[in-house]
Amino acid sequence: MNEDDFSGGERGKHKAAEFNLSIYLEPDVAAFLQKVAIKKGVEVATVVNDWLRKDMAFIETFIQE
């Protein structure tokens, strides 16, 4: 079995890496968001991100410990 050599690696090098989260929407929700995006001339992701940013304080009330 081959072993990996990490002797030249840097700890934490990719710590701040970003990733995209895929979310699957019900067809009626996706259709609604698509209509809004078309009317605003933006991507659906922009509509969703703007919507969630506006409601973050509300959403945080559900995750308070």
Half-sphere exposure of 2 (CA within 13 A, CB side): 3
6 domain-assigned: no
- Of the candidates 59, 48, 43, the one whose C-alpha atom is nearest the C-alpha of residue 24 is 48
12 domain-assigned: no
Secondary structure (DSSP) of 41-65: TS-HHHHHHHHHHHTHHHHHHHH--
4-38 pLDDT per residue, tens: 887 777 776 766 667 788 889 999 999 999 999 99
Residues comprising the chain, all counted: 65
Residue 54 belongs to domain spanning: 27-63
1 domain-assigned: no
Q: Is 37 exposed, middle or buried (0-12, 13-18, 19+ CB in 10 A)?
A: middle
Q: Which pTM value belongs to this model?
A: 0.58
Could you give the number of structural domains in the chain?
Answer: 1
Residue with tokens 């605003």: 40
13 domain-assigned: no
